[in-house]
Chains A and B, each alone.
Chain A
C-alpha cells in the first residue's frame, strides 16, 4: 500500500451510489453473474482498465437516444457495441424484475430501443428477450 496511486477505480467505487451513473448497476450485474473484472471486460470486448471509465458513464437514455448513447459509450471505452448493449439490456431487465422504481420508469423505452438495436444489427434475428411483458409500457412511461 505504500505505492499508493490515484485510481479511477476508487472513484468508480464512490460512484456506485449515483443511480444515473453505470457504476452501481455494473457492480450488481458483475456480482450476480459472478464475473471477475477480466471476465466482464471480455464480455464487453474491452480492456479491464476501461471498466472504471465505463462505470463513470451515464446510463444510456431511453429511446430514441439509447442506441446513440450506447454507441458513444462503446466508442469511448473501445468496447464491442453488441456486447455492451447486451450487458446494458441485461442490467435493465434485472432491475425491472427486481422492481426498482426508477428502472420501472425507464425500462420500457430502453428495452425497446435495445431490442430495436439488436434487430437492426442482426437483420431480424430472434433475440428472445425474456422480460418482454415489462417492456410493453407506453414509450413516454
Chain B
C-alpha cells in the first residue's frame, strides 16, 4: 500500500529539511501507535523498553535518511513498523546473548554452586535455576527484571540504570537518587522473598 496523503506530506517536509518541527510532529503523531503495533507484532513476551528503543531508532534513522523510504512502495507507517520490528529482533537477540554472557548462572559448570553475591543476605542461598525462576516470579515487569539483572551482575555504572528507568533527562543528582531508590526497593523485595524461602 502506498503512502497516505498525510504520510506523503510529512515525508516531503522532512525531505525538504526546511521545517524545524516536521520530524517532531511526525514522531508525536506516530510514536505511541508504532510502539503498540510493534508490541503486538512481537507478542506477549515483548520487552516494552526494547520496543520503544527500536521504534525510536527506526524513527531517528528515517529522520537521518528519509530518502531511504520510497512512498511508492509502502506507507510510511508500515515502513517504520517493519524497521522497528527488525531492530527489535536484533536488539532482543543481542540482549539475550549479553545476558547469557553476563549471568553465567546459565553455565552448567556453575549449576549446584552458590553464585549470587550481590548482597550478603542473598549470598550463598540461591542456585541458578532457582534464581531465574524467582526473578521472573518476583519481578513480572520487564524493566524491573533488567534492573535486578544489572544489580546481580554488580553493574556499578549509573548509566545502564538510568537508561532502563528512562530518567536521563533529570539532573545528575536526581538521577543518582532515583537509581538508588529503585535499587534499594528492588533489593528489599528480593531480600524479603529470600528470607521467606526454604532452602534445601
In the bound complex, residues from chain B placing their C-beta under 8 Å from that of A53 are 24, 28
Determine the distance from Cα of A51 to Cα of B48 in the docked complex, in whole angstroms.
22
Determine the distance from Cα of A95 to Cα of B53 in the docked complex, in whole angstroms.
28
Given known A57-B21, A76-B21, contact A1–B143 (CB-CB < 8 A): yes
Interface range on chain B (Cβ under 8 Å from partner): 35 or more
Q: Determine whether the beta carbon of B25 is less than 8 Å from that of A14.
A: no
B35 at the binding interface (Cβ < 8 Å)? yes
Q: Determine whether the beta carbon of B169 is less than 8 Å from that of A9.
A: yes
B104 at the binding interface (Cβ < 8 Å)? no
In the bound complex, residues from chain A placing their C-beta under 8 Å from that of B52 are 6-7, 10-11
A2 at the binding interface (Cβ < 8 Å)? yes
Contact of B20 among A2, A13, A14, A60 (CB under 8 A): A60
Determine the distance from Cα of A1 to Cα of B22 in the docked complex, in whole angstroms.
31
Number of CB contacts from chain A to chain B under 8 A: 97
Q: Determine whether the beta carbon of B35 is less than 8 Å from that of A31.
A: no
Q: Determine whether the beta carbon of A69 is less than 8 Å from that of B20.
A: yes
Determine the distance from Cα of A57 to Cα of B63 in the docked complex, in whole angstroms.
11
Nearest CB of chain A from residue B100's CB, rounded to whole Å: 23
Interface range on chain A (Cβ under 8 Å from partner): 35 or more
Determine chain B's interface SS by DSSP, over half rule.
Answer: helix
Nearest CB of chain A from residue B169's CB, rounded to whole Å: 6
A residues engaging B (CB < 8 A)? 1-2, 4-16, 18, 21, 27, 30-31, 34-37, 51, 53-54, 56-61, 65, 69, 72-73, 76
20 more CB-based (< 8 A) A-B contacts, given A8-B28, A13-B166, A14-B56 = A1-B141, A1-B143, A4-B143, A6-B31, A6-B55, A7-B166, A9-B169, A11-B56, A13-B168, A15-B60, A18-B60, A30-B169, A30-B171, A31-B171, A31-B172, A35-B171, A58-B22, A58-B23, A65-B18, A73-B21
